[in-house]
Amino acid sequence: GAGVSQTPSNKVTEKGKYVELRCDPISGHTALYWYRQSLGQGPEFLIYFQGTGAADDSGLPNDRFFAVRPEGSVSTLKIQRTERGDSAMYLCASRAQGASIYEQYFGPGTRLTVT
C-alpha cells in the first residue's frame, strides 16, 4: 500500500505569513507524529496524535504552531506569523496501533523556507 505522503514537498513563504503543511498517514495507522529537522540535525519531536487527539504536544516550540487531525487520519500542521527560524524540513510519521514506538513510517517531508 501507499506510504506516508506529505504536501507540499516544498513551500516558500514570506516572513509573517501563515502556512499549512499536510500529512496523509498510512491507511489505518492510528498514531501520527510531526517532527522538525533543521539542516545538519536530527529530527526534533513536535507533536503526537493518537486518533484525533493530541496525546503529547510538548515539542511545539510556541503558540504559533498548531496541529489538527480532525478525523483521525490526515493531519495538518499550521504555523502562524512565520519567522525565518521556522525554515526547516517538517517530517510526518505514522505508526500502527500496537506497534512499537520505533516502528514509525516517515513521509518524505515538506521543506519550508521562510524568506
Partner 1 sequence: SQQGEEDPQALSIQEGENATMNCSYKTSINNLQWYRQNSGRGLVHLILIRSNEREKHSGRLRVTLDTSKKSSSLLITASRAADTASYFCATVAAASSARQLTFGSGTQLTVLP
- Give the nearer residue to partner 1 in terms of CB position, either 91 or 114: 91
In the complex, which residues of this chain contact partner 1 (CB under 8 A)?
4, 33, 40-45, 48, 55-56, 58-59, 89, 91, 93, 100-104, 106-109, 111
- Give the nearer residue to partner 1 in terms of CB position, either 42 or 70: 42
Cα(6)–Cα(9) distance, integer angstroms? 7
For 29-74, give the DSSP string.
--EEEEEEE-TTS--EEEEEEETTEEEE-TT--STTEEEE-TTSS-
- Give the nearer residue to partner 1 in terms of CB position, either 52 or 80: 52
